[in-house]
Structure 1
Amino acid sequence: MKKSLLSLFALLLPLLNFAQEAEKGLDEKVNDAFMPIAVWWEGFILTTVPIGEYDIPFVVILLVCGALFFTIFFKVPSVTKFPLAINTVRGKYDEIEGHSAEEKVAVNIVDGDLPDTIRDESQEGEVSHFQALATAVSGTVGLGNIAGVAVAIALGGPGATFWMIVCGLIGMSTKFVECTLGVKYRDVGEDGTVYGGPMYYLSKGLKERGFAGIGKALAIIFAILCVGASFGGGNAFQSNQAAVQLSSLMNLEGGSTGIIIGFILSVLVGIVIIGGIKRIAKITEKIVPFMAGIYVLAALIIIFANFSYIDDAFGLIFKGAFTPMAGLGGLVGVLIVGFQRAAFSNEAGAGSAAIAHSAVKTKYPASEGVVALLEPFIDTVVICTMTALVIIFFNIDGTNLQSVFEYGAVEGSNVMITATGEQLGGVDLTSRAFDSVIPGFSYVLTIAIVLFAFSTMISWSYYGLQSWKYLFGKGKTADLVYKILFLLFVVIGAAATLDAVIKFSDAMILALVFPNMIGLFFLFPKVREEMAKYLSAIRGSKE
């Protein structure tokens, strides 16, 4: 394995040198073609609703109201169900599932209006609670936590961090609901392969409620948007920031550098995604803990190194949350920035993670629902907060709370201008912040960034492929067409600018909220029923 990686790196260097010397303009041409689409789509999805003196994107209203409703209805599951989630993911209740890790399992499906239970004759496509969580977390814990937080602070200042945390906490309830439904209404193919996600609970669940036509329409809309989201936030954004970090580290500025890096990434991603969910799960359960461990450890070192400024940092976060800087529309402006970035980071309400969780080995859908609520906590409450603190510490110098840059992005972009006139944004800013305390860490961070990007891309390829299968059937030809398109967007993302990619990616992820949240509002009573069954089974096992 090590020899293969060294060989790949040996091939990479001459390719990158060629890219640096190539005629400038190829990356720019890709970006020029991509930018108008990104701007139009972002404007369409972020259509605002006038509330008082503010124009608030309707999708943000839907996310916040939905998450608050589920938090209240299910009695704050982010707190009350947190111990249950930990115990479930570590396997404490495996005995009530009636199977061990190697045994075949019974899975619930819904055929038409009648629930039935079948025995799966194959292990294909089925994963453990931990593997399902790792696969889903790898789709959410990505560059949104590294570059996305930097973008949030660039746009909304430190106060945006507070609203990201709030969004993460209440988003745990939404994730619980959508992932429980994902398992309840999943399909199992003749070969035992599991197919699940909002496409299935929208069509089957709403049919049960007497809205078959609406459910089918919403399922198709969701599937189309999820394919687009897999190309955008789950792919192009990841390859873009990985390419930026690699180019910066290796001091490459050629006009085709992004194309070359994107091509190499697409080859690596292509090798993995051919294997399907089982291979993806095996890769992510190893990569996710490793890369998260590196990143969290480095963040903790910086936090403890700057512990004397911890009160100043949180002071900026709380003060900025309620008395934000001018130019953002006041409190609501910075709240919107925080919620948008958190939604992009943890995807609660988008329904995408339910696709990965649907493949879990369980006969109690709620068991995976409680496991899923850990995602926004890990992703947003823990990792995003750590990133924000590292960036804020980077900008603190003694009593001067803005020594490197002034909070607030350059108008029309997602970057900030430093005191020396340098533009920093996304992964560049986060990398510089880490390097300021741990010299040379940018090299380690580059590895972590590439792993973050890689794991997110392979997880999102699975989400997009499941949606593609729902639309075009489950044949091998349809699979191949999707995978080629997915790999093409790896290259496009690496070549485009951060501004173009993040506009497109934001809009694609947020677009999923519309069909998904409509379904959740109709189907949440089913989640209460499934939760009661799971808790009853746990109580029965203790008697």
Structure 2
Amino acid sequence: MVSVFRAICFKNLSMLFPCIISEQNLDENINRVFGDATSWFVDAILAEIPITETVGIPWVVVVLLLGAGYFTLYFKFINVRSFYTAIQVVRGKYDVLESLDQEEADEFSSENISVKERNKDTNVNGEVSHFQALTTAVSATVGLGNIAGVAIALSIGGAGATLWMIIIGVLGMSSKFVECTLGVKYREVDSDGKIFGGPMYYLTKGLGEKGYTKFGKVLSVIFAIMCIGGSFGGGNMFQVNQAFKLFDHVIISDNSMLHGQGWVFGVIMAILVGVVIIGGIKKIASVTDKIVPFMVLIYITAVLTVLVLYSSAIPAAFNAIWEGAFHPEGVMGGFVGVLVQGFRRGAFSNEAGVGSASIAHSAVKTRFPASEGLVALLEPFIDTVVVCTMTALVLIITGQVDTSTEIDFEQGVLLTASALESGVSWFPYLLTIAVLLFAFSSMISWSYYGYQAWSYLFGRSKRTEYLYKSIFCCFTVIGAAATLNAVTDFSDAMIFAMMVPNMIGLFLLSPKVKDELKRYKDSIARRVR
């Protein structure tokens, strides 16, 4: 069956790429041809600024960090000052603000804006709650980058890399606030009540308001193209490929007929993903708001158990983190290891500044864009500050950190599994379940991101919708069945490239975000006692 499957794939590909027919296997041929055709793009996006003679940092990562720092200062440390307010918004404390009363109607009238127009402009109805929007976005960010990426970072920079992860996560909270506020502010709603939002829309409409209409359209098209590519690769193929490798290593016996048969795993995952994504954002949100808390609980429970068992070593671990953070090796491990390896191989640890999460948050039920921006700033905290830090502590106290050997993502997952196994022998099985849920939730969320970009370019008909979702599921099977490093490198570079048009828009539109934040804070002060 496997040979027939590969023969069919090879025959179809040979019709498109006659030059790849050779005695090499299918994976190697695709890698070679695709790598030759796209290496210029990958090299350009991931070009490094030299830090030392042997180590450099990609320029896109520098832009992300500078942007996050700028927004933190511009909004006066909103990532810290509004953290409690963000939690209260998720809890529903300020839901009362979503109902218009006469006082607000008079306020709008004084600005020559009717209540009806105001409702239309802000799309009050929405499709999902604050909590569902948060879990949908978190499901795309909490994944293999938190497990394998941390192990890679520590293998390069030692324990000190952990502190830089935390700092990067805290700064990223500000970027996430800005992009998700804009996502809600400039979203659109169709005749069926479906929400369409994200950088494609705030780049077009927001920059159009500032007189940069053509420039905004060019940036939005670039972003959409990159988002589609990223959804097929880093958000799909990579996720299912790494999930299968761990599943195959831990669960499937070496003598089993299923050992190494990734296409079977891919077909099953494609069916499960297809069932969910056909239902749209409401279906995705209804799944993620159940999966995300469960998968995070599974992983954190396993990690906390190991931390309790090795509690006596925790003070020494924190001391190693603090001392190592200011050692040159530790600094480079934090920035290069986490941002380059962890973000690149795990479709970014928290995606702050990339713009993808604003697509999910755009579907929220609210008339105050800043309310969802505040909710969104919790994502990098959950993803990087909490989950990544806990993973790092487990790796440190179980003695899994070895800076003498650089590891890849597959080894990173197995290293974390070994750390958990040192606490309880059957914890690798628990990690496998968590990784499968991480991968599945990331895939369904990224399918939504990709479709939103696809619909922006090709229209919102049922035909275009099902075409995209069918292609997405096909890539799921391919991703599990093959190891296509060149394809994955290209798609990851596309995710990095999404940052370029998005950060330009965030910088130019940040005053709009400040106005929305003031409007929401004033409403809280006036209405909530």
TM-score range, shorter chain: 0.7 to 0.9
CA distance in 2, matches of 1:408, 1:89: 43
| Cα distance in 2 for residues equivalent to 1:36 and 1:152 | 31
Inter-partner Cα distance in structure 1 for 2:438 and 2:449:
17
Q: Distance in 2 between matches of 1:184 and 1:259?
A: 42
> Is there any run of 5+ residues in structure 1 with no aligned partner, and where?
1-17, 100-114, 397-401, 416-423
Listed as ranges, the matches of 1:183-222 within 5 Å are: 183-222=184-223
SS at the partner of 1:359? coil
2:390 is aligned to: 386
Residue 498 of structure 1: how far off its partner (Å): 8.6
CA distances 1:206-262 after superposition (whole Å, capped 9, x unpaired): 101111111000000000000111112211121011101111121348785122211
SS of 2:118's partner is strand
1:350 corresponds to 2:354: yes
Residue matched to 2:247 = 246
CA distance in 2, matches of 1:433, 1:511: 34
SS of aligned partner of 1:437 = coil
Query: 1:310 maps to which residue?
Result: 314
SS at match of 2:57: strand
Give matches, 1:6-25, under 5 Å. Answer: none
Instruction: Give the whole-Å Cα distance in 2 for the aligned partners of 1:121 and 1:540.
Output: 20
Question: 2:497 matched to which residue of 1?
Answer: 511
How far 1:453 moved relative to its partner? Answer: 0.8
1:160–1:320 contact (8 Å) kept in structure 2: yes
Shift of the alpha carbon at 1:312? 2.8
Whole-angstrom distance in 2 between the partners of 1:201 and 1:274: 26
Match for residue 109 of structure 1?
A: none
Does 1:43 pair with 2:29?
no
For the structure 1 residues 261 and 314, does the alpha-carbon distance in structure 2 shift closer, same or farther, using more than 3 Å as the test?
same
| Contact preservation (8 Å) 2:156, 2:333 | no
Q: How far apart, in 1, do the equivalents of 2:143 and 2:196 lie?
A: 24
When structure 1 is superposed on structure 2, of 315-324 and 448-457 the one drifting more is: 315-324
- The amino acid across from 2:201 in the alignment is Y
Instruction: State the distance in 2 between where 1:317 and 1:34 align.
Output: 39
**Equivalent residue for 1:434, pick from 412, 415, 420:** 420
Q: Which of 455, 460, 463 is matched with 1:474 structurally? A: 460
Higher helix share: 2
**CA separation in 1, counterparts of 2:461 and 2:319?**
56
For 1:535, the equivalent position in structure 2 comes to: 521
Q: 1:488 aligns to what?
A: 474
Between the aligned partners of 1:313 and 1:20, the Cα distance in structure 2 is 50
Instruction: Give the length in aligned residue pairs.
Output: 489
CA distance in 1 between counterparts of 2:423 and 2:353 reads 36
Q: What amino acid maps onto 1:160 in structure 2?
A: A
Q: Is the 8 A contact 2:27 2:484 kept in 1?
A: no
**How far did residue 56 of structure 1 move?**
3.2
* Alpha-carbon separation, structure 1, partners of 2:416 and 2:487: 18
Does residue 1:33 correspond to 2:30, yes or no?
yes
Amino acid at match of 2:288: T
List aligned pairs for 1:91-130, cutoff 5 A.
91-98=92-99, 116-118=117-119, 126-130=127-131
Q: CA 1:56–1:426 in 2, change beyond 3 Å: closer, same or farther?
A: closer
Contact 1:30 1:492 in 2 (8 A): no
Tell me, yes or no, if the aligned pair for 2:176 and 2:373 is still in contact at 8 Å: yes
Partner of 1:449: 435
2:286 to 282, 289, 297: 282
1:407 Cα offset (Å): 4.4
Q: Tell me, what secondary structure is at the counterpart of 1:266?
A: helix
Q: Label 1:503 to 1:314 Cα distance change in 2 as closer, same or farther (>3 A).
A: farther
Counterpart in 1 of 2:444?
458
The change in CA–CA distance for 1:51 and 1:447 in structure 2 (over 3 A counts) is: closer
Q: Secondary structure at the match of 2:422?
A: helix
**Is residue 81 of structure 1 aligned with residue 78 of structure 2?**
no
Q: What amino acid sits opposite 1:251 in the alignment?
A: S
Contact 2:34 2:487 in 1 (8 A): no
Q: Flag the 1:98–1:323 CA change in 2: closer, same or farther, 3 A.
A: same
* 283-292 or 151-160, which deviates more: 151-160
What do the CA deviations read for 1:149-181 (whole angstroms, capped 9, x no partner)?
223233433333222211110000000000000
In structure 2, the CA distance between the partners of 1:311 and 1:505, relative to structure 1 (3 Å rule), is: farther
Other-structure match for 2:109: none
| Change beyond 3 A, Cα 1:155–1:33 | farther
Q: Specify the alignment match of 2:142 in structure 1.
A: 141
Q: 1:307 and 1:473 mapped to 2: Cα distance? A: 55
Does the CA-based 8 Å contact 1:70-1:174 persist in structure 2? Answer: yes
Cross-structure match for 2:370: 366
TM-score, L = length of structure 2: 0.85
Cα distance in structure 1, aligned partners of 2:418 and 2:3: 23
1:492: how far off? 2.4
Alpha-carbon distance in 2 for matches of 1:20, 1:324? 50
Q: SS at 1:345's partner residue?
A: coil
Report the equivalent of 2:406.
409
**Which AA in structure 2 matches 1:80?**
R
Secondary structure in 2 aligned to 1:117?
helix
Deviation of 1:189 after TM superposition, in Å, equals: 0.7
Residue 223, structure 1, aligned to residue 224, structure 2: yes
For 2:19, the equivalent position in structure 1 comes to none
Three-state SS of the structure 2 residue aligned to 1:301 is helix
TM-score, normalised with respect to structure 1:
0.83
In structure 2, the residue corresponding to 1:264 is in which secondary structure?
A: helix
CA distance in 2, matches of 1:368, 1:46: 32
Structure 1 letter corresponding to 2:319:
G
Q: Is the 8 A contact 2:248 2:259 kept in 1?
A: no
Show CA shifts across 1:292-319 (max 9, x none).
1111111111112112211332333333
The letter for the 1-side match of 2:444 is I
Given the superposition, is the C-alpha separation of residues 118 and 31 from structure 1 closer, same or farther in structure 2, using an over 3 Å criterion? Answer: farther
- Secondary structure of the structure 2 residue equivalent to 1:351: coil
Segment of structure 1 superposing worse, 493-502 or 364-373: 493-502
1:19 deviates by 6.1
Task: Say whether the 8 Å CA contact 2:94–2:524 is kept in structure 1.
Answer: yes
> Kindly tell me: are residues 58 and 241 of structure 1, through their superposed partners in 2, closer, same or farther at Cα, counting changes over 3 Å?
same
- Give the distance between the partners of 1:68 and 1:123, measured in 2 at CA: 32
2:349 is paired with a residue whose SS is helix
Equivalent-residue separation in structure 2 for 1:284 and 1:378 (angstroms): 15
2:229 and 2:254 map into 1 onto residues whose CA distance is 30
> Relative to structure 1, is the Cα distance of residues 359 and 461 closer, same or farther in structure 2, using a 3 angstrom cutoff?
same
Tell me the secondary structure at the aligned position of residue 503 of structure 1.
Answer: helix
> CA separation of 1:391/1:499 partners in 2, compared to 1, >3 Å: closer, same or farther?
farther
Aligned to 1:361, the other structure's residue is in SS state coil
- Partners of 1:505 and 1:255 lie apart in 2 by 27
Cα distance change, pair 452–531 in 1 and its aligned pair in 2 (3 A): same
Percent identical pairs in the alignment equals: 53
1:70 maps to amino acid: F
- When residues 278 and 478 of structure 1 are mapped into structure 2, their CA distance, relative to the original with a 3 A threshold, is same
Distance (Å, rounded) in 2 between the aligned partners of 1:151 and 1:489? 26
- Change in CA separation of 1:501 and 1:440 when aligned onto 2, cut-off 3 Å: farther
Is the Cα–Cα contact under 8 Å of residues 238 and 453 in structure 1 kept in the other structure? yes
Does residue 154 of structure 1 match 2:155? yes
Contact 2:160 2:331 in 1 (8 A): no
Is the CA contact (8 Å cut-off) linking 1:20 and 1:252 kept in structure 2? no
The CA distance in 1 between the partners of 2:137 and 2:514, in whole Å, is 23
Over 3 Å counting, the alpha-carbon distance change for 1:371 and 1:31 in structure 2 is farther
Corresponding residue of 2:236: 235
Q: Distance in 2 between matches of 1:143 and 1:188?
A: 33
